[in-house]
Amino acid sequence: MDSLIVEGGAPLRGAVEISGAKNAALPLMAASLLAYSPVTLHNVPSLMDVDTMMLVLHTVGADVIRKGNTLVIDPSNFNIPEAPYNLVRKMRASIYVLGPMVARLKKAKVSMPGGCVIGRRPIDLHLRGMESLGAVVDVSHGYIVVDNPGLKGARFSLEGPNGSSVGATCNTLMAAVLGEGKSVIHGVAREPEVRDLVDLLNEMGARIEAQDSTITVEGVRELHGVEHSIIPDRIEAGTYMAAAAITRGDVILKNCHLPHMEAVVGKLREIGLEVEPVVGGARCRCNNGLLKPTNIRTLPYPGFPTDLQAQFTAFLSLIEGNSTVTETIYPERFMHIAELARMGAEISLFSATATVCGVKNLSAAPVMATDLRASAALILAALAATGKTEILRVYHIDRGYEHIEKKLAGLGARIHREG
């Protein structure tokens, strides 16, 4: 298994190109199955999760060709209504084929995704979406089995106990677009990745209107292929901003879309960083040593994203004073705390709130990556620590960050991979 070796201490300086958003690419790849002709997606990042989704699309009969960051997905032979356990267990987002299967093949058999290290991750809202549209859902032997006797427009809410669900919104939308009549869906996720899916579907011929937390879908008979470019990855951009911040550096983020990052940019400015738009992107720099502690609460968009919680916890651990980080989306998503503590961070956890008592230095230690964003947090901590940190189980990072060590090295980080 590969590990990353990071020698800390160098402030990051220079420019980095932000890739297309993983969390938009995955549902948009699945949505391509809804068309009767090929869909071309540009700005698709080269990531393990994208490879897995390509495999899922192959498994259900579609042809996928990749040329650099462009994917051409030909759904003409999409005719297998099953996503087996060995794929879904690799990547939860495989469940995104559920909606297209129900809509186009009139039936679906998709393995139930299990829990994962960031906590319990139910799928009841996905099923609520299907049932509200008139599908018949059965869960047995670890599989979700859905029959579509003819989906009909309906008025319902997808709001869950922790707010809206990105996955359930995308799946329900992909089922509703080919249904009969009008659906009004309340309590939907407003994440930019969901809006990218709405844009793609509308370009394919769908009739969807998204406003705040409500989406209205007027069903259509068929959808056609188009060319579409995936939005920039706001989580990757936020991670590089946090990397600039924790190393007290100065980084230009090319192809970064600041309007998708208001909560994150607001926090960085409150802490004392300068974040400004520049032509084609943004600049994040630390102009003074006096950074202030803060309180972060993760929330569905437009709130502060849970996918940046771990990285900001690492950053706050080097700011003098007490900060708090409250996780409202995945209350158990704090696996990185024990690893950060091994590097000298002082963080205590009570319920879903971490209290971070800033320390002057972090020191290198062998640490273990537990999930995708926790891996990023450990890399950030290592960039600022004294000495050489070895980060084990780094395969998690390849799921979601394109060429991370190359990009960081381009900013002056001393980082390399060992196999």
**Active site members:** 116
Q: Which of residues 114-133 bind ligand UD1 (CB under 6 A)?
A: 121-126
At 249, give phi and psi (nearest 5°). Answer: -105, -155
Contacts of 207 by beta carbon, 8 Å cutoff, 6+ apart = 217, 218, 219, 220
Among 61, 84, 134, 160, binds ligand UD1 (CB under 6 A): 160
Site for ligand UD1 in 374-393 (CB under 6 A): none
**Residues in 78-117 at the binding interface with ligand UD1, rule: CB under 6 A:** 92-93
**Stretch binding ligand UD1 (CB under 6 A), from 58-66, 160-168, 219-227, 361-369:** 160-168
Q: Are 340 and 375 in contact (CB under 8 A)?
A: no
**Mask: binding to ligand UD1, 176-195, rule CB under 6 A, as x and -?**
-------------x---x--
For 308, phi then psi, to 5°, come to -115, 5
Nearer to ligand UD1, 330 or 401 (CB): 330
In single-letter form, the type of residue at position 163 comes to G
Cis before 161? omega within 30: no
Give the CA distances from residue 143 to residues 64, 119, 124, 218, 253, in Å, rounded to whole numbers and listed in that order. 26, 20, 13, 30, 42
Q: Position 93: which residue type?
A: A
- Residues of this chain, 9-68, that bind ligand UD1 according to CB under 6 A: 23, 26
Q: Which is nearer to ligand UD1, 168 or 226 (CB)?
A: 168
Q: Which residue is it, tokens 């670890």?
A: 142
CB nearer ligand UD1, residue 246 or residue 329: 329
- Backbone dihedral region of 14: left (phi > 0), alpha (psi from -120 to 50 degrees) or beta? left
Residues touching ligand UD1, count (CB under 6 A): 23
253's tokens: 């983020």
Contact region for ligand UD1 (CB under 6 A) — 54-62, 70-78, 155-163, 248-256? 155-163
* Contacting residue, 19, 40, 165, 309, with ligand UD1 by CB under 6 A: 165
Q: 46, 59, 157, 162: which one contacts ligand UD1 (CB under 6 A)?
A: 162
Size of the chain in residues: 419
Q: How does DSSP assign 85-110, residue by residue?
A: HHHHTT-GGGGGGHHHIIIIISEEEE
**CB-count burial class (<10 Å; 0-12, 13-18, 19+) for 417:** middle
- Per CB under 6 A, which of residues 271..290 are in contact with ligand UD1? none
DSSP 8-state secondary structure symbol assigned to residue 131: H
Q: Which is nearer to ligand UD1, 124 or 262 (CB)?
A: 124
Shortest gap between Cβ of 297 and ligand UD1 (angstroms)? 14
In 3D, which of 118, 102, 96 has the Cα closest to residue 162?
Answer: 118
**Residue 68 vs 161, nearer CB to ligand UD1:** 161
Min separation Cβ 299 and ligand UD1, Å: 9
Contact pick of 56, 329, 380, 394 for ligand UD1 (by CB under 6 A): 329
The residues binding ligand UD1 (CB under 6 A) are 23, 26, 92-93, 121-126, 160-162, 165-168, 189, 193, 306-307, 329-330
